[in-house]
Amino acid sequence: MNAYVEECRREWRRLGVPDLLAEEMATELEADLAEAEADGVAASEVLGESDPRRFAATWARERGLVSEPPPKKSRKGLWIGIAVGLVLLFIALPALALITLQSGSITTAKSQPPIQSLVLPNFVGLKACRAQRIALEAGLNVRKIRRPRCNAVVVAQRPARGTLIPYRQRKRTTLKLRLRG
């Protein structure tokens, strides 16, 4: 227990407790510990604290011999801030990526030159219904081909293949197909 008291003395010296008062506390403690030992009482019941430095500091502080330690800057707020930041980052990153992609696709769409005109493909040799479907998908007018003639083959077309049709006029252009079969 002498080692415990010696450690207390060192701590009081370090904290700037006046020598006279430090010695008074050390003497009091030594005498009490010796008596407790003689009684067969565990030192822990007298001390209640296994760390001599903490014990000495607490005692001196409670007696008003040293100033209260400055409150530790709470890192709780910092950790909460970091956590919130990370969560926001995880939310924001995909959102940002999505926005970027969307804007990219918009940009891409905008960057594509507008379609100026259509080059009429060759329908000759295609089956009637297939030729009709292609023409309709291109936005052209086609004379309706009845189902019984679906398998007929296109033998001629007007306008001819390769004809440039202004895109805006495609709906006013009627494709005429001559069929056989």
Give, in degrees to the nearest 5, the angle at Cα 140 between 138 and 144.
Answer: 115
**Least Cβ distance, residue 19 to other proteins (angstroms):** 16
Q: Closest separation between CB of residue 62 and other proteins, Å?
A: 4
For residue 171, give the DSSP letter: G
Binding positions for other proteins, 41-100, rule CB under 8 A: 41-42, 44-49, 55, 58-64
Would you list the DSSP string of 55-101? HHHHHHHHHTSSPPPPPPPPSHHHHHHHHHHHHHHHHHHHHHHHHHH
Considering the complex, state which of residue 42 and residue 87 has its C-beta at the smaller distance from other proteins. 42
From 15, 21, 103, select the one nearest 54 (Cα to Cα): 15
Q: Which is nearer to other proteins, 43 or 118 (CB)?
A: 43
The residue among 61 and 133 lying less far from other proteins, judged by its C-beta, is 61
120 sits near other proteins (criterion: CB under 8 A): no
Query: Applying CB under 8 A, does 15 fall inside the site for other proteins?
Result: no
**Nearer CB in complex with other proteins: 19/39:** 39
Q: How far apart are CA 12 and CA 23, in angstroms?
A: 9
Question: Are 29 and 11 in contact, with CB atoms under 8 Å apart?
Answer: no
Q: Tell me if 28 contacts other proteins by CB under 8 A.
A: yes
Q: How many CB atoms lie within 10 A of CB 104?
A: 11
Residues in contact with other proteins by CB under 8 A are 24-25, 27-29, 31-36, 39, 41-42, 44-49, 55, 58-64
